[in-house]
């Protein structure tokens, strides 16, 4: 029986890239769930959870608008590298205070 071709996945470097992007995508989808559990554990209030998600969306819209203007003025090479690094830092920023119990959530 002939072996099926995996195409680009036969390349070691591409497999690593694909696996890294897949793990990152799963993490991106699980982050809101983790945030919801963290807020509910800290406050126990559904309305506080709504406020946190509303604040997250408002901040996201503001940053996206500013980033769009900024990205229009950047070189394309740099534009392809920086977002990945910036994305990691932005996603880690709300997690750090929660892990260290610094979150200023109402009791």
pTM confidence score: 0.57
What is the pLDDT at residue 66? 87
Per-residue pLDDT tens digits for 32-51 = 888 888 888 888 889 988 99
Residue 6 above 80 pLDDT?
no
Contacts of 62 (CB under 8 A, 6+ apart): none
Per-residue pLDDT tens digits for 62-107 = 888 888 888 788 777 776 666 666 666 666 666 555 555 555 555 4
Instruction: Say if residues 39 and 31 touch (Cβ distance below 8 Å).
Output: no
Instruction: Say if residues 12 and 20 touch (Cβ distance below 8 Å).
Output: no
């Amino acid at each position: 029986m002939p072996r099926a071709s995996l195409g680009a996945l036969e390349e070691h470097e591409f497999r690593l890239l694909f696996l890294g992007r897949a793990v990152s995508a799963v993490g991106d989808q699980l982050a809101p769930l983790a945030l919801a559990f963290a807020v509910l554990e800290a406050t126990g209030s559904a309305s506080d959870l709504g406020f946190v998600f509303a604040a997250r969306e408002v901040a996201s819209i503001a940053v996206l608008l500013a980033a769009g203007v900024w990205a229009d003025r950047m070189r394309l090479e740099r534009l392809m590298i920086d977002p990945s690094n910036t994305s990691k830092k932005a996603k880690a920023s709300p997690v750090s205070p929660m892990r260290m119990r610094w979150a200023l959530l109402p009791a």
